[in-house]
Amino acid sequence: MRLAIHRPPGLVLTEHEFEVPLDHSRPDATKLTLFAREVVGTERAGEALPWLLFLQGGPGFEAARPLSRRDPTWLEPALRRYRVLMLDQRGTGRSSPVGDMAGLTAREQADRLAFFRADAIVRDAEAVRGALGIDRWTVLGQSFGGFCVVSYLSLAPHGLDAALVTGGLPPLERHVDDVYSATYRRVVDRNRAYYARYPEDRDRVRAIVERLDAGDVRLPTGERLSARRFRQLGMLLGTSTGAERLHYIVELPVDSPAFRHDVAAESPFARNPLYAVVHEACYASGCVTRWSAERVMPDELRADETMFTGEHVFPWMFEEIDALAPLREAAHLLAERPWPPLYDPETLLQNRVPAAALVYADDMYVERSFSEETAARVRGLRAWVTNEYEHDGLRADGGRVLGRLLELLDGTA
C-alpha cells in the first residue's frame, strides 16, 4: 500500500507499507507490517529505472533516513543508476517494531523473536519485490545487511540482478565461538592502539572505573552506570572516528551531566532492543550460542579494568538495562535454542548472480579472514580488500565505496 509522497529538494520519496507473515511457512498466522521508503532523483522520477534494495546493518536497526541526495553519502551515486528502496527490516523503525513484548510469556517472546534473523528478512524482501511487481533487483547490504545478502544468494537468487556487500560477508559454517574469539582479538588490538594514541586515558579510565565501582553514578534514564557497561563504549573503536569519540567522553568529569549523557547516547540498546536480543543468533548458522561472547571472553579483557569490550552482548545486560529487562528470560531461552542454517554453501558455490563485496582488512566487527573464506566460496564474487576504511566506510565515503563496487560489478575495475 502506498502511504504518501514527499518532495524534498532533489528527491521524490514514496512511502510504502506491506503485510507479511511472522512465519513465512505459516502465511495465515500472525502478521507483521513492513515499511519501506522509495527514493528517486527528481530528474529521473518518471523513468523505468532498475531497483536497488538497501539493507541496513544491525541487527535491529531501521534503514537510513535520507536527509539529502548526499546524506547518506552513497545515495547520490546510487540515484544516478537506480530507484532505491530503503527497507525497515522487520522489528525496526516503522516495521512492527519490537519493544518489551508485554503480555507475552517468555516462551512466547522467544518463539516470536526467533523469526527476526536474515532468512526471514530475505523472505520479507521477496514478498515486497512481488508486491511492487519487480522482476529482479540489485541488493546492497551494509554489515548485518551483508549477512542478509548472502542469505538472499542462498535462498532466493532468482530475485536478484546483482548483489553488493560492504563489511558484511559472514562466516558460512564457523561456530559462533570461533567468530567471537576472532573479534575479541581485534578488540584487544584496538584497545592497544587507542592507548598508544591517548596514553593519558588509561589513568582516566582506571579512575572512572574505580568511581563507578565505589559510587552511584546514574544515567539520565535513572539506571546505575556500572563499570562493565561503561567499558562497552569500546564498540566505538571499530569506526573511523570512534577513538576520538571515546576519548572525548573519557576526558569529561565522571560526575558531569555531559559524561552521563554522552555515555547514554552511545548505548543503542534502549532504542533498539532487538539488537541485543538476536545479535548472537545472527551468527548462529546451525548451532547453539549459549552466551558465546561471555564464555569466550579472553582473560586480558576480563581481568584488565581499563580494557574496553566491543559489540558483544552479555547476559548481565538484561539485568542492568531497563529496556532489556522485560526480555531477559526470552534471551536466555534463545541462547539455548538450536538455530537452523542461514546459508546454503552448495548454492553459493554454483552462484550465477553478479556479486561484489568490500572487505575491511582490520574490521573489528566482522572478521576479515572469515569474510575472505566466504568470498572464495561464492562463485563469481569479486572482493575488494582494503585497509583504507573502518567498518563504517560506506557511511564515511559512500560515493567512492559504492562507485568502486559498481565498477567491480561491471568488470571495469
SS3 138: strand
Catalytic residue among 154, 181, 391, 392: 391
Q: Which of 22, 2, 196, 242 has its CA nearest to residue 111? A: 22
Q: CA 253, CA 261: separation in Å to the nearest integer?
A: 12
Residues 139 and 164: their CA atoms lie apart, in Å, by 6
Q: Is 371 a catalytic residue?
A: no
Beta bridge mates, 138: 52, 162
Q: How many CB atoms lie within 10 A of CB 18?
A: 18
Active site residue 363: yes
Sign of CA dihedral 38, 43, 45, 49: negative
- Angstrom CA distances, 370 to 52, 109, 170, 217, 327, stand at 27, 32, 7, 40, 31
CA distance linking residue 40 with residue 49, whole number of Å: 9
Q: Whole-angstrom Cα distance, residue 367 to residue 316?
A: 25
Burial of residue 372, with CB atoms counted within 10 A of its CB: 0-12 exposed, 13-18 middle, 19 or more buried = middle
Cell numbers that stand for 209 in this block: 572505573
Burial class (CB in 10 A: 0-12, 13-18, 19+), 273: buried
- The shares of helix, strand and coil residues in the chain, as percent rounded to the nearest 5, are 45, 15, 40
Give yes or no: 391 in active site: yes
Q: Contact at 8 Å (CB) between 345 and 371?
A: no
Catalytic site residue from 95, 363, 371, 392: 363
**Count of helices and strands (H, E) across the chain:** 18, 9
* C-alpha distance across the termini of the chain, in Å: 40
At residue 201's C-alpha, the angle toward residues 213 and 298, to 5°, is 65
CA-to-CA dists, residue 50 to 44, 82, 138, 210, angstroms: 11, 5, 8, 57
| Active-site position among 95, 143, 267, 292 | 143
Active site residues: 143, 363, 391
